[in-house]
């Protein structure tokens, strides 16, 4: 009977130990499942954080790209304006160079008129002024000179200095227009 009691005690202890270990196994399995879920959640959150960081980085890069595109557009506009200004200046330079070549012809006409005033009118210096004024191909100056010429009396050595001065003034104004941008 002792043996039966001992056997029953051993069986009860074995069953208790088995139950305890089964219960521990179940608890540990639950904890393991919880840890796996936690690990999965942490991995998901980490992936989301990485994706968020990548999205933020992409957004920053997009903003930088947009700013760079605006800068490029601005530089292109500045370049276009600079090119236009350069073209305009080149045209002005060619125009002024061409006009400067004409200035000498106008100055020659003034010199010839000064000879009339300095030496007094004679056929030679009046003819010289006529030729120089004709080279100008300027109707307004020609008509002023014709008015001044009409007031010249070679025989009496008289002339209207004001009319010659008006012609010189008109030539000077024309030279000013030729040399201004």
Full-model pTM: 0.54
Any domain includes 120? yes
Any domain includes 13? no
Query: What was the pLDDT predicted at 106?
Result: 94
Any domain includes 109? yes
Any domain includes 8? no
Q: For residue 142, what are its two tokens?
A: 């020609």
Any domain includes 140? yes
Task: List Cα–Cα distances, 128 to 106, 110, 136, in angstroms.
Answer: 13, 11, 13
Please state the length of the chain.
181
Which of 143, 147, 149 is closest to 129 using CA atoms?
Answer: 149
Phi and psi dihedrals of 120, rounded to 5? 90, 155
Which of 149, 141, 145, 151 is closest to 172 using CA atoms?
Answer: 141
Q: How many structural domains is the chain composed of?
A: 1
> What Rg do the C-alpha atoms of the chain give, in angstroms?
55
Q: Are 180 and 126 in contact (CB under 8 A)?
A: no
Any domain includes 144? yes
pLDDT tens-digit profile, the chain (181 residues): 778 887 788 888 888 888 888 888 888 888 888 888 888 888 888 888 888 877 788 888 888 888 888 888 888 888 888 888 888 888 888 888 888 888 999 999 999 999 988 888 999 999 999 999 999 999 999 999 999 999 998 888 888 888 999 999 999 999 998 888 7
């Amino acid at each position: 009977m002792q043996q039966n009691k001992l056997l029953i005690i051993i069986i009860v202890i074995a069953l208790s130990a088995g139950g305890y270990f089964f219960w521990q196994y179940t608890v540990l399995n639950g904890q393991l499942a919880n840890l796996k879920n936690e690990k999965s959640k942490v991995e998901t959150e980490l992936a989301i954080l990485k994706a968020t960081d990548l999205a933020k980085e992409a957004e920053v890069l997009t903003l930088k790209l947009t700013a760079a595109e605006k800068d490029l557009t601005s530089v292109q506009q500045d370049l276009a304006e600079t090119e236009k200004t350069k073209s305009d200046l080149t045209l002005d330079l060619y125009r002024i160079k061409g006009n400067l070549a004409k200035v000498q012809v106008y100055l020659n006409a003034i010199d010839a008129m000064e000879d009339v005033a300095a030496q007094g009118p004679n056929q030679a210096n009046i003819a010289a002024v006529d030729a120089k004024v004709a080279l100008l191909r300027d109707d307004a100056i020609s008509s002023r000179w014709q008015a001044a010429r009409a007031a010249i009396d070679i025989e009496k050595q008289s002339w209207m200095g004001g009319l010659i001065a008006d012609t010189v003034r008109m030539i000077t104004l024309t030279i000013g227009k030729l040399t201004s941008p």
